Structure 1
């Protein structure tokens, strides 16, 4: 079974990605890694003849693999082009799950106001890794009102204690 999985995985890797690594995993399956797209696909035996469990997921920073986002049982006797179509659909699902949700309400509850990272976008950077968002520490209008009122109260107290009219 491993020979069939390895052969199918090698053909599939050639169709999907120019740059790839194919290796055997501990459970007897085969993994195809696409480092440049930060995704992986694995083919594992299911116990049935000519059938395999096809799983897809992301590669994390440092090269470790994230758990599979999607999986399906496929027939290994199907043409490689059909298997590649299934893999592309699964990889699209993995990519969609890795993207942050569309611009919605921010923490302040104001719709459409999105904090942007260093690159000017709120989504992943070119390499697919999320950028660190800068923390905005601006003083809000409500805080300014409180500060002005406290200042007025302190000034009124000082005026009455130290320099008020001598009545």
Structure 2
């Protein structure tokens, strides 16, 4: 699925991760690059998740950018959407770690942006966005269970284009 052009270009790939309302949502980035360099992740956008601008239609959209501390290069961007109960500390410019709480899953009203009828449909929407060195996703079937440390993709890889499996 390719929905947003968050920074002037379409995302690499996206996924909906389902969890009943109230589940904790954390930063999707780890601490190191594939070459072992440490990573700094900053919040680059915080805004309503839906075009209506109304939080009741789909919660928050939190944009994150990961940079390689050795080179300073941006290795990946991600938007986490449909976040409820965002902490006041999550603002543009904030540095976050891999387990930093961004909020929780929520239940929002049925809208053109969030078409869910029950708690079992509650989800976050994750989009990975890069202009070059496209990221890749780990291919899994629908309904696959994810644990707290399940890797769902990699950023800063050398894929020649978007929507590629790792």
Which TM-score applies when normalising by structure 1?
0.28
**What's the TM-score, normalizing by structure 2?**
0.29
More helix by share: 1
Larger of the two Rg values belongs to structure: 1
